[in-house]
Structure 1
Amino acid sequence: MKIKYILLIVLPLMITSCCGTISTAKKEYKISKSTVLKSDWNSNPKEWFLKKDTLTGTGGPMHWAVIASKKKLPANYEITFKVNMTKESLFEIMLNINKENYIRTYLYQIDQNIVIGKGVYNKNSDEYGKRGGPTLFKKPMKLENNKWYTVKIKVLNRQLFFSVDNKTFLECSLEKSNLSQQGQLGFLTNGEAKIIDLTIKNIE
């Protein structure tokens, strides 16, 4: 893949407000350097690492691998990327992480669904009930290992839009569903997942 189309996440994340919101002058960022990944994201380097243009996470059924940004997402944003679940069944985009609570948007091979749910994650425990959470909305989609999927997420005026391959869609109101409205971005896997072409835009 051509580098000019890939640059997986350009950060240095610039702090443009006192609350530490992720943003740049161009209202868009990506990641391109491992040093930036280490300084601006919380993760175990044995579980999440950046090599060339690919961000790879490696977890297991009993220990989910999580990486989370240290900066808050804007109120309105759009996230796009490609993901390949090379092992196991779950890949999750953690939205608006606020303490232990977040919005679950994920691809789940066991049920063959894409899902929006209410999540909880305790980084110090793998106990049942201290990670994951209930499903609120789901839609059937054929999901396989070793296949690339294009994911697009948009939060605009407290409305969440989630699509995979631009053909399977879910939508919900953050307020009506009592979902977190502010916080950080994260990724989670119970196996191995690879991410490329990650871009996050601040929508005004």
Structure 2
Amino acid sequence: MKTKFTVFLLLQLILISCSSAISTAKKEYKITKASQFKSHCDLNEWFLKKDTLIGHGVPLHWGVMESKKRLPKNYEIDFKVNMIEESLFEIMLNLNKGKYIRTYLYQIDQNIVIGDGVYDKKDDSYGKRGGKTLFRKPMQLENNKWYNVKIKVLNNQLFFSVDNKTTLECSLEKSNLSQKGKLGFITNGEVKITDLAIKSL
């Protein structure tokens, strides 16, 4: 059952806005007003409607949202996602200087994936967004179905699971993946996100 405070966003409230990180140890933040949400992230093709974050993109122009502050060194992200249209929903982790960790649900291959990503916000061309796959695990994925996503980065170890049953993990150091940076979301269709909670560990 949803409550009016189901959206827990990754960004700090004004009380600690002088920090460069998205959250502080052992804290989560609730943002229930679109104006607060917009002040803490670059929405681009995403918007907040009541308790739901909605993204829009197309295959030739992915809809991207990125935070203005970086993730803490150790963190946990939980949310529910529904891919309404098209085939790709991606969580950009540790986005820094055009490099990031790709954690995503991909319907065409029917996999969840961890990969090494690149992102050029000014260029939609092939090779300027996305990147190579490092780890994958088969999972049946459908449009118009809600999935529970959990991501944890702890001591440079990444854990990525969907519905608490399909799980991938890897070492950021051994896989030469970005170890600090911001958070973002990407879609090539329409995606809805609810119950988003981000906290430091």
TM-score, normalised via structure 2 length? 0.94
Asked if 1 retains the 8 angstrom alpha-carbon contact of 2:92 and 2:102, the reply is: yes
User: 1:202 and 1:31, CA in 2 relative to 1: closer, same or farther beyond 3 A?
Assistant: same
Mean CA deviation greater in 18-27 or 61-70: 18-27
Distance 1:63 1:48 in 2: 13
Identity level (%): 72
Compute the displacement of 1:112 (Å). 0.0
Give the alignment of 1:43-122 within 5 angstroms: 43-44=43-44, 47-122=45-120
Mean CA deviation greater in 94-103 or 31-40: 31-40
Q: SS state of the match for residue 115, structure 2?
A: strand
Asked if 2 retains the 8 angstrom alpha-carbon contact of 1:14 and 1:23, the reply is: no
Task: Name stretches of at least 5 consecutive residues in structure 2 with no aligned partner.
Answer: none
Question: Which amino acid is 2:33 matched to?
Answer: K
User: 1:13 and 1:190, CA in 2 relative to 1: closer, same or farther beyond 3 A?
Assistant: same
Question: Which amino acid is 1:41 matched to?
Answer: C
Asked if 2 retains the 8 angstrom alpha-carbon contact of 1:115 and 1:138, the reply is: yes
Q: SS state of the match for residue 122, structure 2?
A: coil
Among candidates 171, 174, 177, match of residue 173 of structure 1: 171
User: 1:50 and 1:118, CA in 2 relative to 1: closer, same or farther beyond 3 A?
Assistant: same
Give deviations 1:48-95, integer Å, cap 9, x for gaps.
Answer: 110010000000000001100001110000000000000000000000
Task: Name stretches of at least 5 consecutive residues in structure 1 with no aligned partner.
Answer: none
TM-score, normalised via structure 1 length? 0.93
Runs of 4 or more consecutive aligned structure 1 residues displaced over 2 Å after TM superposition: 7-19
The aligned counterpart of 2:199 is 201
Q: SS state of the match for residue 3, structure 1?
A: coil
